[in-house]
């Protein structure tokens, strides 16, 4: 089957690699443009999917946006039968979805209709969900609203961060994609319409969502830290300066919310119910470091309070 692949971040790479390993004829890869990075913004860095595609010898298209007659013509030139979309980063319009005769399918990192949207992995952890998974969905006009073709689940462990869960779901998504295509070839794939009444949403993470709320209990604060590790990082302030927390676990005891209780062996902070221990921090303008190193540099003292 001739397939055109849409994807951008590292999350999409296992799916692209799995398609080629299974012998699928990937006739083109559409990804976002190289992005300027560094202090001077003068170094262009290619997205992970482009790097993988070039390594695999696949042709790459990098439109600023997947619209317009020229891009449509370029896509039609590849004569793909099916489109596969994995974390591409742009919404595809209905006329784009209709170009491949078999339409387009999407690997989405949630158990649809739960957590439609841009950040399902972060929100699954933040909500305290016991499990999540990947859904293979036939793409339709609405956001993540098409019928589900196949799904696989995985538990969310008490120590799972967004980074760890993303890596696991990337691998699981590749497995689910290959299984779905195999079932389709056998005629055993039954599209299941989503119940819109059960839909929940996972909007893009903004700065306010990543801020720690010291009116929450230890469990909720720990989930917020894990949900935004490694990026964008859950943050709070001390002496009106931002600091981000990583590597959280429960600590015995308790104290006033946000109050630093102990710095002798670890950074221990009180909450409205329970206490947490922080392993790593990132002070404003500095690199991520161990909490112990930060404390040795007098980053915080017992009795001080995060806001």
Boundaries of every domain in the chain: 2-198, 218-296
Q: Measuring CA to CA, how many Å separate 205 from each of 104, 121, 200, 209?
A: 26, 11, 15, 6
pLDDT of residue 214: 98
CATH top class, domain 218-296: alpha beta
pLDDT of residue 223: 99
Q: What is the CATH architecture assignment of 2-198?
A: 3-Layer(aba) Sandwich (3.40)
Asked, as a colleague might, if the bond just before 169 is cis with ω within 30 of 0, I would say no
Closest by CA to 100, choosing from 124, 122, 84, 120, is 84
Residue 299 has pLDDT above 90, yes or no: no
- pTM given for the model: 0.95
pLDDT of residue 264: 87
**Backbone CA torsion sign across 215, 217, 219, 220:** negative
Which pairs with CB-CB distance under 8 Å and at least 24 residues apart come from 142-146? Answer: 143/91, 143/116, 143/117, 144/106, 144/108, 144/112, 144/113, 144/116, 144/117, 145/113, 145/116, 145/194, 145/196, 145/199, 146/106, 146/194
- Taking only the tens place, the pLDDT of each residue in 205-232 is 999 999 999 999 999 999 999 999 999 9
pLDDT of residue 25: 98
- Which tokens belong to 35? 């992005």
Contact 268, 251 (CB under 8 A): yes
pLDDT of residue 105: 98
Query: In sequence order, what E strands does 110-201 have?
Result: 131-138, 148-155
Mean pLDDT of 104-127: 98
Residue 198 has pLDDT above 80, yes or no: yes
Sheet containing 104-108: give its strands across. Answer: 60-61, 25-30, 2-7, 82-86, 104-108, 131-138, 148-155
Q: How confident is the model at residue 41 (pLDDT cuts 50, 70, 90)?
A: confident
Q: How confident is the model at residue 37 (pLDDT cuts 50, 70, 90)?
A: confident
Ramachandran class of 281: left when φ > 0, alpha when ψ lies in -120 to 50, beta otherwise: beta
DSSP state of 259: B
pLDDT of residue 266: 86
Residue 47 has pLDDT above 90, yes or no: yes
């Amino acid at each position: 089957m001739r397939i055109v692949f849409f994807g951008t971040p590292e999350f999409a790479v296992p799916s692209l690699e799995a398609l080629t390993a299974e012998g699928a004829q990937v006739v083109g890869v559409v990804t976002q443009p190289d992005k300027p990075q560094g202090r001077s913004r003068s170094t262009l860095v290619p997205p992970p999917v482009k790097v993988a595609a070039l390594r695999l010898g696949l042709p790459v298209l990098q439109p600023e946006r997947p619209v317009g007659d020229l891009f449509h013509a370029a896509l039609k030139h590849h004569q793909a039968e099916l489109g596969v979309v994995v974390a591409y980063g742009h919404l595809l319009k209905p006329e784009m979805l209709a170009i491949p005769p078999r339409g387009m399918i999407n690997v989405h990192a949630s158990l649809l209709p739960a957590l439609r949207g841009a950040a399902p992995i972060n929100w699954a952890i933040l909500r305290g969900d016991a499990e999540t998974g990947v859904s293979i969905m036939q793409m339709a006009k609405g956001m993540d609203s098409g019928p589900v073709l196949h799904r696989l689940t995985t538990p969310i462990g008490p120590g799972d961060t967004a980074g760890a869960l993303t890596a696991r779901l990337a691998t699981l998504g590749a497995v689910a994609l290959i299984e779905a295509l195999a079932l389709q070839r056998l005629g055993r794939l039954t599209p299941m319409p989503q119940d819109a009444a059960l839909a929940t949403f996972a909007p893009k993470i903004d700065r306010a969502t990543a801020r720690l709320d010291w009116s929450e209990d230890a469990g909720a604060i720990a989930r917020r830290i894990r949900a935004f590790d490694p990026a964008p990082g859950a943050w709070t302030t001390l002496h009106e300066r931002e600091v981000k927390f990583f590597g959280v676990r429960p600590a015995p005891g308790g104290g006033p919310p946000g109050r630093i209780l102990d710095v002798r062996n670890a950074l221990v902070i009180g909450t409205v119910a329970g206490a947490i221990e922080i392993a790593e921090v990132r002070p404003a303008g500095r690199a991520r470091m161990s909490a112990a190193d930060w404390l040795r540099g007098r980053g915080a003292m017992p009795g001080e309070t995060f806001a």
